Amino acid sequence: MFLGDYFIFLIALLACMIFSLVASAKVKSAFGKYDKKTCVSGMTGYDTAQRLMRANGVYDIGIGKTGGTLTDHYHPTKKIVNLSDSTYASNSVAAVAVAAHEIGHVMQKKDGYWLYNLRTAVVPVANFGSFLAMPLVLIGLLLDYLVAATADSGIGFYLAMIGVALYGASFVFALVTLPVELDASRRAKQMLVASRILKEDELPAATEVLSAAAMTYLASLLTSLVYFLRFLFYVLTLFGRRD
């Protein structure tokens, strides 16, 4: 039965891997397609980030440059938006959309968007949990064995389940990340039109790029869910409580 369960896990994981590959290919395809289309305003990714922040009263966030393609990210603690080589100096619709997406995150922090704040709060828990999860499960197993010899106690099992909960923080992070990214893209499209960086007829292209990127976060969420369920089932099996 255990081998059958493991086979199901492998099938689910394989499906997630295939979906992740498809999502990544779609992002590259959409970006490559619209990276060749110059936006009518002629603004670059850097220009876009700067204008959108100024238009929304943000003056304490810097704009930096980082190597690679689609490695753009906002670093809130360092107060900087890093744009990739493919975005920084490019005046394509794709580059402008990606830059605006990062400013969407800036605005989330500025507005105190609750899901963005929740994701930020979950990060240290997820890092801490991934480190402590397995040790807690092992300690729980040891306690369960030692205590079971003298009394009927579930202390070991409950300790192990705390480890499972900590491990699950990574899944919670992925779960919260998806709506945060979708909201950043929604904000980006609104700001691009309001600031006249993109015209209405250019918006579908930007939407295609941002929607493709969202698929990668969905793939991460599904993969995280599969690993979490596998870990939970593994612990329940160890304690003989699969039912």
Asked about 202 being catalytic, the answer comes back as no
Instruction: Show the tokens assigned to 52.
Output: 């959108």
Catalytic residue, chosen from 102, 181, 202, 208, is: 102
**C-alpha–C-alpha distance, residues 138 and 135, integer Å:** 5
Active site residues: 102
